[in-house]
Amino acid sequence: MAGLPGVILLLGSPLMDNGLDLSEEGIIVDQRGKERPHGKGYDIGAEEQQFSVILPVLFPLLL
């Protein structure tokens, strides 16, 4: 189901980097086909956040 819209985690979300390592069960990519984990740990949910991509979009909202 790659390519479906998902929920974007906000900076500081408790769901970031607190998920389980499910690579032994064959889960090595997220819903979009991106490698997991990205960052210090696995994110909880279908998509692994990559803030290097969405930060420019969120930054003006944080000011």
45, 31 Cβ separation under 8 angstroms: no
User: In this predicted structure, what is the pLDDT of residue 4?
Assistant: 55
**For 13-30, what is each residue's pLDDT tens digit?**
899 999 999 999 999 999
- Are 55 and 63 spatial neighbours (Cβ–Cβ below 8 Å)? no
pLDDT at 18: 93
The per-residue pLDDT string of the chain (63 residues; one tens digit each, 9 = 90 and over) reads 455 566 778 878 899 999 999 999 999 999 888 899 988 899 998 888 876 545 555 555 555
* Lookup: tokens for 15: 């769901």
**For position 31, what pLDDT does the model report?**
86
Count of residues for the chain?
Answer: 63
